Each structure stands twice: as structure tokens, then as C-alpha cells.
Amino acid sequence: MNPTFRRLLREARPYYPRLGAGSLFGVLAGVAPLTLAQVAVYLQSDVLVPKPHWDILQLVIALILVSQIVGNAAAYGQAYLTAFSGQRMVAQFRLRMFDRIARMPLSEFDRWRPGDLQARMSADLGLMTDAISISLPQFIQVTVTFIAALIYIIWLDWFLALVLFVAAPVVGFIVSRFNALIVGGTKRAQERIADLSSNLIEVLANERIVKAFRREDFERDRFAAANERYFGAYMKVTQFSQTQTPVLATVIMIALCAVIALTAREVSVGRLSPATAWGFWTATSLLINPMNRFSIFFADFARAFVGAARVFQILDLPIEPDDPADAVPLPSVIGDVRFEQVTFAYEDDRPVLLDFTAEMLHGEVVALVGPSGAGKSTIVNLVPRFYEPQRGRITVDGVDIANVRLGDLRNAIAIVPQETQLFNGTIADNIRYGRLTASDDEIVVAAQEANADEFVRRLSEGYDTIVGERGIRLSGGQRQRLAIARAILRDPRILILDEATSALDSYSEALIEDALDRLLPGRTTLIIAHRLSTIRRATKILYIEGGRVRETGTHDDLIAAGGPYADLHAAQFAR
């Protein structure tokens, strides 16, 4: 059995009662059309000659009406119950995928393109939705009709039924071959749509860069190429799917023609009555329709299995581990952070930090300075355990953070990134992200301390103003002040600043510097410094190069020492 199919069966266990009830309705809906075959037998007998037998005709009419009413009602019940179960299962997949992506370690998350994740959340789940909501209910009903019709024609005449069975191996071979082609084509199509989504997300995220460099035509051509690759892959799948149906129909019609010829011969020699022949032909027509539709269903299921396999790949990704039973609580964090001979590498043979040792004590404002690639961002990413070092240990208040409760650790930390990340909600919601239980008054106080209240009050909707995707409706300085307000509301013991005043105008920079003066005291602050002019407030500077601390001291001390920090300072201010 296909492993993806086995897993789908396990996932469907909570819905077995509804699916079972739906299947019973499907049996009724599938058997109902067989009454038409028996009606054909009645009408070809002596019901109408030499005069109509009204008692039998009334029975025939009642049989038709009842079968249609019961069949349609059962078909509705089966379709609803099956679709409900399928859609609920897909909805749970969607939620679990989102949760899995949100909980992935950054080391795993960095390996995935956003467009690929988006495609699996939409296109791959879409394949499953189509199969479960549309194809599966029809498949159950059609399968019952097929089996019932098959039993009926065997009961009428086993010899003629045997002629149809001759086509079965040929049909099975055709279906298996085409399904293999459809599965391969669907995998390629889903990969192409992931490429398309990634291309779109990149352009949307960098729209200003595209316009600044006048690369609209270039990006259109790049997108057009990806679009054509997806179109070609999709049409290949369509070609396989649409070719399968007429090929099967041809094989089945050849078998049907043989049955008609043999039936006529059986009637001519008197072995079969015309009424039975008509009933046999009617049942055979009910048999042929499912055989033609099976190819469509199998193609839909093959595509759904491809989508399910890609969904399961996301659901099987690692997540940040739960706290062990002996995890150490951090109920009251002071903020003393120490790195003890820490080695870390994103790739095994290229360490970013090598036996890195340093301390950042509570109340200190520690600036991390050094050339690009020295490991500054890695250091601040290791403190909240976004990544785990390969060797050495990092402690907070003397406790190895590898052994503490992750929630306690991260609750003591706030980050103000260089590129402020806001969510498409209100200003109040974005500030409250720092502490979800905060009151409206606490939000206003945090905004005032961050020098954000003055611009928020000028907006028509105030704190209820929608900031737009990524805060696009606000200026860079306004977004940065909201990020500081969010950090103030969190009231962290450890604060991480990634050059919070970089690329801002002088007015916004002054406001943010003033807000930081209120935020920094009493906390352990780590500043990633890209511009040396922003670190004069630092009480300690760590000059980092080659994954190690090369110099430690205040700005004046390091300038006087005339070492690499002084050289970097001179190089920057000589320009």
C-alpha cells in the first residue's frame, strides 16, 4: 500500500464515523440507478401488449420515482458528509502546517524559500481539497453502481459478462501507466508553481528596488519564464489526464460492441429473451459510465497523493524541542550573559564563532563591532537560542541557557531589528505584540516613552490606524519608534538592538536616541553597530574579528590603544 495513502487513512480516523455514514448513503445512491435496468426488463416484456397492464405500470412508475428520490437524497447526504470530513481534515492540515512552520528552528527555516512554503499551503492543499470534496464522494457512488451493475449482469448472463472481463487487464494496465505519468508530471508542476510563488514574493518584498533600478521589464521576463515553465508542466499533466479517458473509452467500447453482437446472436438462437437482453444492455451502460469515470478519479487521486506527500514533508519537519522535564526555570532574570568558548557554524566546515568568550553584564550597554561576517548577528541570535552552538556554552545569570525553559528565556529578551517588522493590524496591536495582556493605557505609556505617541495622535484613527503590510503606511522612523514601544512594553532584562537608528533622517534619529536613553538603563543591552557614531553610549565595546573577541574596552580606551578598532574608526571617519 502506498505509504502516503496509509498515512492519510491514519489521519482520517477521527472522521471514520461520518465517512462510514456517508459510505452507506453512497451505497444507496449507487444502487438506485440499477432499478432502471429492471424497469427495462419490465417494459420489454408483455406489460404493453396486447394492452397495458396498469398494475405493473404503476409499479414501474413508483419504482422510478422512489429510486430517484432515494438516490438523490442519499447522494446529497453522502456528498455532504464526505466533503465535511475531508474539508475538516484539510483545515487541520492547514493549521498544523502553519504551526509547524512557525515552530521550526531558524536553522531549518532558512533552508526553505517562502514561495515553496506558500505553494504547499495553497496549491498542494488545493489538490487534496479537490480530490476529497469532489472526486471522493462521486468515486464512492460510482464504485457502488459499478459493483451493483456487475453483479446484476452476472446474474442475468454470466457468459456475456465474461466478455467484458476480457477488457479488465487492458484497462488496468492503461490506468497504471497513465497514473505513473500523471504523478511525475504533477510533482514537476507543483515544483514549478513553487518557483512562481517565490518569484512573486521576491518582487513584492523588493518593489522599491525594482522600481529604483527600472527592472520592471526584467522581472516581468523572469516571471514570464517561470510562468511558461509552470504552464508547460501543467499542460503535460493535462495531456496525460485527457489522453487516458479516450484511450480507456475506446477499449471499453470495443468490448461493448462485442457484447452487443453476442447478445444479438443469443437472442436469435433463442437462448436469451429480448427483455433480458434489454436489461443486460441497460446494466452494461451503467457499468460503462463508471469505468470511463474511474480514469478521471484515479488521476485526481494521484495528484492528491502528490500534494499530500508534499504536505506531510512539511508536517515532518523538526520543530524547536519542548522543554525537558528537568528544564531550569528563570523566574527572575538579572541579565548577566556569558559566552564560554562557544563555537558555532552554519556549515560544518566554516565556523562563524571559534572558541568565542565574552561577558555582557546587567546594566552594561555592549556594542558588537567588527567587519562584515565577523559574527555579530550570530552572537545576538545565540542568546535567545534561535540557534544552538556546536561547542561551549552560553549562560544567563550563571545558568546554561541550553538547560533553561525556553519561554522564560525569551520572555526576558526583546529585539529591535534594523528592518522593523510590523504586522498588518492596528498600531495598538503591533505595540501589544510585546505583551498580549497589556491594557490600552499601558500601550499609550509605552508609545510616549518611545516618542511615538506624538505622531500616532496626529493620525485620523489614532492607535486604531491600520499600518498596512509590513507597516508600509508608516515612515521608517515611525516604524522604528513602534518597535521600541513594543520592546518597552515587554520590559525585558536583555535588549538586543540591531543598529536601531541606521538609515534614518536626523530628526527621527534624535527621537529614537532619546527613547533609547529611557529604555537602556538597568538592562543588559547588546548593540550590533554598523556605524561607529552610534556606539558612543556603549559602556563596553567588543571588537570581533574571525569569530573571536580581538579587543575589549570603552571607545576612548580602544582609540588610545591604536588597535584594529582604532583602525576601523579611522577608516570610517577618514571618508
Q: What does 414-454 look like in DSSP terms, one character per residue?
A: EEE-SS----SSBHHHHHHTT-TT--HHHHHHHHHHTT-HH
Confidence of residue 555 (pLDDT cuts 50, 70, 90): confident
**Top-tier CATH class for 3-87+109-315:** mainly alpha
Q: Is the pLDDT of residue 243 over 80?
A: no
Confidence of residue 50 (pLDDT cuts 50, 70, 90): low
Residue 337: count other Cβ atoms within 10 Å of its Cβ: 26
CATH code for the domain defined by 420-491: 3.40.50.300
Amino acid in position 14:
P
* CA distances, 444 to each of 432, 438, 439, 447 (Å): 10, 10, 9, 5
The model's pLDDT over 152-180, given as tens digits with 9 standing for 90+, comes to: 777 777 777 776 666 666 666 776 677 67
Could you tell me which residues come within 8 angstroms of residue 28 by beta carbon, excluding any fewer than 6 positions away? 70, 71, 74
Confidence of residue 151 (pLDDT cuts 50, 70, 90): confident
Q: What span, in angstroms and rounded, lies between the C-alpha atoms of 112 and 567? A: 39
What is the pLDDT, as a whole number, of residue 135? 77
Structural contact between residues 256 and 292, judged by C-beta atoms closer than 8 angstroms: no
Nearest CA among 278, 321, 29, 257 for reference residue 157: 278
Confidence of residue 55 (pLDDT cuts 50, 70, 90): low
* CA distances, 436 to each of 384, 427, 430, 433 (Å): 19, 13, 10, 6
Mean pLDDT for 409-415 is: 89
Confidence of residue 383 (pLDDT cuts 50, 70, 90): very high
Q: What span, in angstroms and rounded, lies between the C-alpha atoms of 426 and 464? A: 5
Q: Is the pLDDT of residue 263 over 80?
A: no
Q: Is the pLDDT of residue 225 over 80?
A: yes
Secondary structure of 18-37 as H, E, C letters: HHHHHHHHHHHHHHHHHHHH
Q: What span, in angstroms and rounded, lies between the C-alpha atoms of 266 and 429? A: 81
Nearest CA among 139, 140, 156 for reference residue 283: 156
What is the pLDDT, as a whole number, of residue 208? 63
524-528 sheet: strands from edge to edge: 413-416, 494-498, 524-528, 365-369, 540-545, 548-553
The model's pLDDT over 63-94, given as tens digits with 9 standing for 90+, comes to: 777 777 887 888 888 888 888 888 888 888 88
Q: What span, in angstroms and rounded, lies between the C-alpha atoms of 499 and 377? A: 11
Q: What span, in angstroms and rounded, lies between the C-alpha atoms of 192 and 310? A: 14
Q: Is the pLDDT of residue 339 over 90?
A: yes
What is the pLDDT, as a whole number, of residue 213? 64
- What percentage of the chain exceeds 70 in pLDDT? 83
What is the pLDDT, as a whole number, of residue 393? 93
Q: What span, in angstroms and rounded, lies between the C-alpha atoms of 431 and 447? A: 8
Mean pLDDT for 229-246 is: 76
Q: 3-state class of 49 per DSSP?
A: coil
Average pLDDT in the chain: 80
The DSSP H or E segment spanning 10 is helix 3-11
CATH 3.40.50.300 in the chain is located at: 320-412+493-575, 420-491
Return the higher-pLDDT residue of 22 and 440. Answer: 440
Residue with cell string 453512497: 26
CATH 1.20.1560.10 in the chain is located at: 3-87+109-315
Return the higher-pLDDT residue of 121 and 382. Answer: 382
Q: What span, in angstroms and rounded, lies between the C-alpha atoms of 518 and 397? A: 24
What is the pLDDT, as a whole number, of residue 371? 83
Confidence of residue 245 (pLDDT cuts 50, 70, 90): low
Confidence of residue 4 (pLDDT cuts 50, 70, 90): confident
What is the pLDDT, as a whole number, of residue 360? 92
CATH code for the domain defined by 320-412+493-575: 3.40.50.300
Confidence of residue 361 (pLDDT cuts 50, 70, 90): very high
Amino acid in position 335:
G
What is the pLDDT, as a whole number, of residue 542? 92
User: What is the CA 138 to chain-centroid distance, rounded?
Assistant: 28
pTM over 0.75: no
What is the pLDDT, as a whole number, of residue 34? 67
Backbone angles phi, psi at 354, to 5 degrees: -135, 110
